[in-house]
Chains A and B, each alone.
Chain A
Amino acid sequence: MADEHDLQPEDLPEMGRDLRRLYGPAVNVPADEDAAIRAAVRRGFAERRRTRLVVTRRLAPFAAAAAAVLFVIWLAMPRPSSPPPESIAVETEPADFDGNGRVDILDAFHLARRLEAGEEVDSTLDLNRDGAVDARDVDRIALRAVSLTPGAG
């Protein structure tokens, strides 16, 4: 259902009359006055553009010199040196007991033999972190050697 305030096509002439009554007739500006106003506006814009160009031309050499000085300073500044290769921390695998680059059953075997012989072993081999390097750590290495589960062990 149409709203009672909706504008209908037949209302347009009436609305035109109402608008004319509200704002009155159009003001007639003489052509010479209109041309004078346009010329004044154009002169104003041209003056502003000229000023901007003059300022830009005067400042350009100073800006270039400042940029050059900054560039030289930047070149002369000491740079943070990259750390020497020795300082890169190498992640070692404690379970790789024989240090051949992989964890296999021989790592468990070597550790088991040293434990049986009563030799002292590095505390990093306490893989289960129970405070002692013992047969349970040997088992842990052996299980890691046979693991096919990513991230297990």
Chain B
Amino acid sequence: MNRLPTIVIVLMLLPLLGFGQLGRVPQANDLEYQTPPRSIFSTLELWLDTGDRPLAAYQIEIEAVAGDVRIVGLEGTEPGSVFADPPYYDPAVMQSERIIIADFSTEAPEDLPAGRFRIATIHLHVVGDVAPEFQTKLTVAADADGTEIEAQLTTRPGPDR
């Protein structure tokens, strides 16, 4: 028996079932409607402390290890600094939870930042109520001669937006 006409009719009717939901008024017991996932844009500031050594190059790995976090943007440090522009990063990892950033400057040592300063800011999209946590690693910190120096990396959550 040829069932093709029946199948075609059923396929044509299927979208109508979906259209019936369009005018549906949300119900009180509709949990999905009552509690939409929290979605905020936030920032994570990365701070370096190089002591009295001027910083000429750095490379940092950042990974969100808790929370539903997506990296959506990057910002350099204060305007006027040699690191004011956004650092190098892999554009393919935007919207992911892991990124490597790096930058360098060939300016004279007296023009390079030293001490404790904000080196970059990461813009985040956080979904859900789980507080994001990050794992960071400073893989390179070097002075104007390219000699690796001791530096401390710390993070500070920025304001929600």
Contact = CB atoms under 8 A, between A and B. Distances in A.
B103 A106 contact: no
Interface string A138-153: 0100110111110010
Given A146-B59, A147-B90, A105 B102 contact: yes
B57 A106 contact: yes
B104 A142 contact: yes
Contacts of A110: 146
A143 B59 contact: no
A142 B88 contact: yes
Contacts, number: 69
Nearest to B147: A106
Interface string B85-122: 00111101100101111111010000000000000000
Given A106-B57, A109-B56, A148 B146 contact: no
Label chain A's interface by main secondary structure: helix
Which of A104, A106, A139 has its CB near the most chain B CB atoms (within 10 A)? A106
B139 interface: yes
A104 B139 contact: yes
A119 to B, nearest CB: 13
A142 B102 contact: yes
Size range of the chain B interface in the assembly: 20 to 34
Which of B57, B92, B139, B148 has its CB near the most chain A CB atoms (within 10 A)? B57
B46 interface: no
Contacts of B59: 104-106, 145-146
Contact of A146 (B100, B146, B148): B100
A146 B101 contact: yes
Contacts of A147: 90, 92, 100
A116 interface: yes
A95 interface: no
B106 A105 contact: no
A45 to B, nearest CB: 66
Contacts of B142: 106, 109
B140 A152 contact: no
Interface string A119-153: 00000000000000000000100110111110010
B104 A116 contact: no
14 contacts: A98-B146, A104-B59, A104-B102, A105-B102, A105-B103, A106-B148, A108-B102, A112-B104, A139-B88, A146-B89, A146-B100, A147-B100, A148-B98, A152-B90
Given A98-B146, A106-B142, 12 more contacts: A104-B140, A105-B59, A105-B103, A106-B59, A112-B106, A146-B102, A147-B90, A147-B92, A148-B98, A148-B100, A149-B92, A152-B92
